[in-house]
A and B are shown apart, each in its own frame.
Chain A
Amino acid sequence: MKRELLKFLAFTVFVLLLPLYFQGGYLMNVLVFVGINTMLAIALNLLLGYAGQISLGHAGFFGLGAYLSGILTATYGWNPWLAMPTAAIVVGGLAGLIGFPILKLKGHYLAMATLGLGIIIYIVFNETVDLTGGPSGLSGIPNLAVAGVTFDSDVKNYYLIWGFTLAVILFSLNLANSRVGRALRAVHDSEVAARVVGVNARILKVQIFALSALLSSLAGSLYAHTMTFISPASFGFNFSVELLTMVVIGGLGSVYGSFLGAALLTLLPEFLRAAHDYDIIIYGALLMLMVMFMPGGLVRGIPDLFRKVFKKGGGDSHA
Chain B
Amino acid sequence: MLEVCGITQIFGGVTALADVSFRINQGDITGVIGPNGAGKTTLFNIITGIYTQTSGRVLFEEKDISGLPPEKLARLAMVRTFQNIELFGGMTVHENVMVGMQTKSSSGLLACALKMPWSIVEERRIREASLKWLEFTGITDLADVTAGNLPFGKGRLLEIARALAVEPRIILMDEPAAGLNSQETVALAQLIKRIRDLGITVVLVEHDMELVMDICDRIVVLNLGRKLAEGTPREIQDNSDVIAAYLGDDD
Listed in ascending order, the chain A residues whose CB lies under 8 Å from chain B are 171-172, 174-175, 178-183, 185-186, 188-190, 192-201, 207-208, 211, 253, 319
Contact = CB atoms under 8 A, between A and B. Distances in A.
Residue in A172, A185, A189 whose Cβ sees the most chain B Cβ within 10 Å:
A189
Contacts, number: 106
B88 A186 contact: yes
Nearest to B48: A196
Interface string B98-121: 111111010111001111000100
Contacts of A192: 50, 70, 82, 86
B216 to A, nearest CB: 23
5 contacts: A178-B119, A182-B91, A185-B88, A189-B90, A195-B69
Contact of A185 (B90, B100, B123): B90
A98 to B, nearest CB: 18
A234 B241 CA distance: 74
A193 B119 contact: no
A315 to B, nearest CB: 13
Given A195-B70, A197-B162, A198-B103, A188 B90 contact: yes
Interface of B: 48, 50, 69-71, 73-75, 79-80, 82, 86-91, 95-96, 98-103, 105, 107-109, 112-115, 119, 122-123, 126, 159, 162-163, 165-166
A174 B114 contact: yes
Given A178-B107, A180-B109, A181-B112, A198 B90 contact: no
Contact of B122 (A179, A185, A196): A179
B132 to A, nearest CB: 16
A197 B75 CA distance: 8
A198 B71 contact: yes
B114 A171 contact: yes
Given A194-B99, A198-B166, A180 B112 contact: yes
B205 to A, nearest CB: 15
Contacts of A190: 86-89
A189 B71 contact: no
Contacts of B98: 179, 182
Nearest to B107: A179
B60 to A, nearest CB: 15
A171 B115 CA distance: 8
Contact of A189 (B88, B101, B113, B165): B88
A243 to B, nearest CB: 21
Contacts of B103: 197-198
Contact of A172 (B87, B95, B113): B113
Given A175-B112, A178-B112, A179-B126, A199 B90 contact: no
Given A185-B90, A189-B88, A197 B112 contact: no
A89 to B, nearest CB: 12
A183 B107 contact: no
